[in-house]
Amino acid sequence: MAFIALFVTATKLAGILVTVTVAANAFSFSRFRKKNLRRFESPIDESADTLAVFNANEGESNFFFGLATAPAHVEDKLNDAWLQFAEENPCDKSEPHQGLQPADALISSAAADGGSQLASLLQQGANRTVKKKKPLKIAVEAMIRGFEKFTEEEHEAEPVPSEECHHNVAAWHNVPHPEERLRFWSDPDIELNLAKNTGIGVFRMGIDWSRIMPEEPVNGLKDIVNYAALERYKWIINKVRSHGMKVMLTLFHHSLPPWAGEYGGWKVEKTVGYFMDFTRLVVDCVSDIVDYWVTFNEPHVFCLLTYCAGAWPGGHPDMLEAATSALPTGVFQQVMHWMAIAHSKAYDYIHEQSGTLSNPMVGVSHNVSFMRPYGLFDVAAVSLANSLTLFPYVDSISDKMDYIGINYYGQEVVSGSGLKLVETDEYSESGRGVYPDGLYRMLLQFHERYKHLNVPFIITENGVSDETDLIRRPYILEHLLAVYAAMIMGVPVIGYLFWTISDNWEWADGYGPKFGLVAVDRANRLARIPRPSYHLFSKVVKSGRITREDRALAWRDLQRAAKENKTRPFYRAANKHGLMYAGGLDEPILRPYVVRDWRFGHYEMEGLQDPLSRLSRSIIQPLSIIRKRKPQKDDAELVLQPL
C-alpha cells in the first residue's frame, strides 16, 4: 500500500509539473505573439498604381539607394585569413593533436550568407580501440550559439579517407579560379560601372585590415605598414566618386588578420589598440573623401561564428570555451565588449579628424533576423537568442552612433536546438526564410527602442541568394515596400543598400549561393551577365518608385514557376526531422518553389506546429469562427491579369 501511495503521489507531482510547464510556456508564447506575431494592417494603398515613392536623388537630405560589397568577397591578390582558411586541406593533416577534436561537425552562418564545416582530422594509432568524443550532427542555431553535443563511442581509430574530408569553405575548390574572387583590386571599373549604371547614390566597400598591416606591429608601425595599398584604396575610392557615387566605407567586415587570430584576436584587449592603429592610418588617408563609415559589420555574427562555433578563421575555441560562451563571463560577452570599446574609439577619432566641413556619418551594420518558435517549447530558445543578439551591442554604443545600420535577410524558425526547414515557406539558396514583414516589424521595434537617440536608420544590407532570379525580383520590391511602410509609420529610414552587385565569394559558403544582381561566368574570365533583377532594381532606383504593375509582374513569374512544380538550387541539407545542418554544400540539391503569398502585408503566420499545439487547434478551431483576411484588389488582379 505504501508503494501505491508513493506512486500516486509521484504521478500527481509529475502531472502538476507538466501542467505548470505547459502553462508557463503557453503564457510566454502569448506574450511573444502579442509583441511579435500580431497581424498588422499594411499602411500601403495596394489599389494605387504607384505603391511607394522614395524621393531619391532629389536633395542632400532625401532617401538614397546603394549597393554593398566587402574586400573578402571581391578583392584579388589578397592573402587574408579567408584565403588561407579556404586553401587548408584537412586531409593533409597527419600530425597528432591535443584534446578532443570534432570530426565532420557541420557549422552554419548566423548571417545566412556563409556556413562552414570543421575539418576531419586524422588520428594516430590505427587499428586500436579508443574511446572518442564524437560530435552529433546538430543544426544551425545550436552551433552558432557555441554548443556541440557529443556521444562517447568505441571505434577503430583509422585514418580518414580523403573522400570523407570536408573543406573549410564549401563550393570553393570546385569552381574556376576561386582565389581571384572578382578582381576588384586589379580592375575595379567592372563593378563600379555596373553599380553606376543602376543609378545608385552610395557605394559601400571596405578596406582590408590585413592588406594594410600584413604583420603584427609588435615593434610599432614603421616597418610593417603597406602604404602602397593605402594609396591604392584611396585611388579606388576616388574612382567611386568620379562615377558619381558617395562612399560608405567599412573598417571591419568579418576579416581578422591571420596574425591577430594566432594570439586570440578580439578576445584580447591589445586588438583594440591594433585596430585603432589601422583606423588612424585609414582615416588620415581618406577621411575627406568618405561620406559614411561602418566601423563593424555584424559584430555578434563574427563573434558567434569565430569564437563560439569555430566555423570562421581565427577563433579556435576549445570545448569548454564553446560550452560556456553564452555565460556572462563567456567569450561572447568578452569579445563584444572589446568590439564596443573599439567602435567608440574609432567613432571619436573619425569625428576628430574629419572636422566640421565633411561631417561624415559613423555607425555600425547590425545583423537582425526575425526569429519565431516552431513549437510551444521553443519560445525560450528564441527569447534567449534575441536577448543576446538583438539589442545589447547597439545599447552599449548608443551614444556613439550617427545612424543605426540594419542588415536584414529574412526569418528563422527555431525548433529545439536548431533551425526548422518549414516546407510551406520560401527560402533563399543559403537557408534563410523569405519574410519581408520581418523587416517592417524589426524597424518598428528598433525605432521604439532608440527613438530617443534621434538618429536615422540605414538598411546597410538586404538581399537574397537566388541563381534563378525568380525570387529576387519580388524580394527586392517587397522589402522596399516594407521599408516604405515603416517610413509611413514614422521610422526615419534614409537609405537602402542591396547586397550585392555580382555573385561572389560568400564567406564559408564559397561560390555556392548566388546573391548578385549580376551573374558571373567564372570559366569565361569572370564575364558578367546582368540578371532581370538588375534591370528591375535600376528602374526602381532611377524612378524612386514601385508600381503595382512591376509588383504584379515579378510575383506572377514566381508563382507560375511554383504552380508548375519547378525547382531551383538549395545549398543547405536537413535531417529527417527537418532541422537544417549548418554547413554549406559543394553542389546544391534541388528544392521546389513554394506556393505561398509572402508579399509584404500578405504573409499569414502559421500557428505553433508541435503536437500539443496541433491537438489543441484541432479541438478549438471547429468551435470558433475564424475571420479570413479580406482579399485586396491587387489579389484579384494578379489572378486575372493576362499573360
Torsion angles phi and psi, residue 558, rounded to 5: -65, -45
Burial class of 198 by CB neighbour count within 10 A (0 to 12, 13 to 18, 19+): buried
> Looking at the chain, how many residues does it have?
643
CB atoms inside a 10 Å sphere around CB 178: 18
Active-site positions read: 298, 461
Cell of 282: 585609414
Whether 96 and 572 have beta carbons less than 8 Å apart is answered as no
Burial class of 3 by CB neighbour count within 10 A (0 to 12, 13 to 18, 19+): exposed
Alpha-carbon distance of 512 to 585, in angstroms, equals 7
Alpha-carbon distance of 182 to 66, in angstroms, equals 19
C-alpha closest to that of 416 among 467, 473, 468, 373? 373
Where residue 368 falls (left for φ over 0; alpha for ψ -120 to 50; beta otherwise) is beta
Q: Is 44 helix (H, G, I), strand (E, B) or coil?
A: coil
In our burial notation (b when 16+ CB lie closer than 10 A, e otherwise), range 465-481 reads bbbbbbbbbbbbbbbbb
User: CA-based angle 371:373:374, to the nearest 5?
Assistant: 125
Alpha-carbon distance of 403 to 589, in angstroms, equals 40
The tally of CA atoms less than 13 A away on the side-chain side of residue 489 is: 21
CA distances from 596 to 435, 474, 555, 560, 599 (A): 11, 13, 11, 12, 9
C-alpha closest to that of 364 among 281, 252, 203, 234? 252
Where residue 280 falls (left for φ over 0; alpha for ψ -120 to 50; beta otherwise) is alpha
